[in-house]
């Protein structure tokens, strides 16, 4: 898929349609099940995003055990040498959560369909309503923890001049007005950039142009030379921003699994603007 229609992490509708008959390709749809059964990209396999997140209330959105994830992908008929294309029906946050998970598994070839199903439909591309079935395979991961952060890792990076903590929740969440955990506010030193600002809502939910994205990030002092740790509430919205940074070539990006549901529900974590 290294052609003019892709970056290192994105693929567009035209390039994907040209590959629909490729037996090495696995398309994964993370839309709601009822929507998937109404229409999906031909050959797409359905996956519920809840199956790739571990929840230990009140902490939600943790990364499950590697063996569990291997089993989930194997049941979808996927192997480590498959090229995977991912999308959903909304703004691709669910799809991006799978993208980040595949990075954590060390999967080598996986792409996000830019704009997801909305852009696919806007371009008039083919859809199907027959559920796809595949024989189970043996998936073997090569785990990569370089894209994963937990609470202890983040605590170790607080105040580090080389590190940027990027909070992509809404402004109300960042300020602690919209309180979704026991404690509201934000991580000390965190930079706020709402995830939706990276999406071109007038262009079927595709990412904004590269120069626009770079300008947004540079204005926020999020530069390629920094280590960037991203979070939201449960690491779906922030998984989208993770993909944005990978798309732009940022080499050191980590997603905080558990995110604010972990930090904001812990009694001893430092919080700025606490409410």
Residue 273 lies in a domain: no
Residues in the chain: 275
Same domain, 208 and 257: yes
| Segments in the chain forming alpha helices (H) | 13-18, 33-38, 66-75, 93-104, 116-122, 151-157, 171-174, 210-219, 237-247, 259-263
Say whether pLDDT at 8 is over 90: no
- Backbone φ, ψ for residue 37 (5° rounding): -70, -20
Q: Are 239 and 99 in contact (CB under 8 A)?
A: yes
| Number of structural domains in the chain | 2
Residues 21 and 88 in one domain: yes
If asked whether residues 172 and 76 sit together in one domain, one would say no
End-to-end CA, the chain: 48
- Please tell me the predicted confidence (pLDDT) of residue 7: 59
Contact 208, 198 (CB under 8 A): yes
Q: 56: domain CATH number?
A: 3.40.250.10
- Global confidence as pTM: 0.96
CB 93 within 8 A of CB 233: no
pLDDT at residue 2 tops 50: no
Task: For residues 166 and 239, state if they share a domain.
Answer: yes
188 lies in the same domain as 258 = yes
Question: Which residues make Cβ contacts (< 8 Å) with residue 184, sequence separation at least 6?
Answer: 173, 176, 177, 178, 264, 271, 274, 275
pLDDT bin (cut points 50, 70, 90) of residue 275 is: confident
**Average pLDDT of the chain, as a whole number:** 96
Residue 2: inside a domain, yes or no? no
**How much of the chain, in percent, has pLDDT values that exceed 70?**
97
Q: What pLDDT is attached to residue 3?
A: 40
- Label the pairing between strands 10-11 and 110-113: parallel
* 49: containing domain: 10-122
Mean local confidence (pLDDT), 198-209: 95
What whole-number distance in Å separates Cα of residue 210 and Cα of residue 72?
34
Residue 68 lies in a domain: yes
List active site positions: 232
Whether 34 is covered by a domain: the verdict is yes
């Amino acid at each position: 898929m290294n052609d003019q229609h892709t970056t290192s992490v994105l693929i567009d509708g035209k390039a994907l349609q040209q590959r629909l008959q490729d037996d090495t390709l696995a398309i994964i749809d993370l839309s709601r099940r009822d929507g998937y059964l109404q229409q999906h990209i031909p050959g797409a396999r359905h996956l519920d995003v809840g199956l790739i997140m571990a929840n230990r209330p009140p902490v939600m959105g943790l990364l499950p055990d590697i063996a569990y994830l291997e089993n989930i992908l194997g049941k979808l008929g996927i192997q480590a040498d498959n090229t995977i294309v991912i999308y959903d029906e909304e703004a691709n946050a669910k799809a991006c959560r799978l993208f980040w998970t595949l990075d954590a598994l060390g999967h080598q070839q996986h792409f996000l369909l830019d704009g997801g199903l909305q852009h696919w439909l806007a371009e008039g591309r083919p859809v199907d309503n027959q559920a796809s079935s595949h024989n189970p395979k043996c998936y073997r991961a090569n785990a990569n923890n370089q894209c994963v952060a937990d609470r202890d890792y983040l605590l170790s990076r607080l105040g580090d001049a080389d590190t940027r903590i990027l909070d992509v929740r809404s402004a109300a969440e960042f300020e602690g007005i919209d309180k979704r955990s026991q404690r509201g506010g934000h991580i000390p030193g965190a930079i706020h950039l709402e995830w939706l600002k990276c999406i071109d809502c007038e262009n079927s939910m595709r990412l904004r142009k590269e120069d626009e994205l770079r300008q947004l990030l540079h204005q926020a002092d999020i530069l390629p030379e920094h280590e960037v740790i991203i979070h939201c509430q449960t690491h779906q919205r922030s998984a989208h921003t993770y993909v944005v940074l990978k798309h732009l070539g940022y080499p050191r990006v980590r997603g905080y699994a558990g995110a604010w549901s972990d930090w904001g529900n812990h009694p001893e974590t430092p919080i700025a603007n606490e409410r």
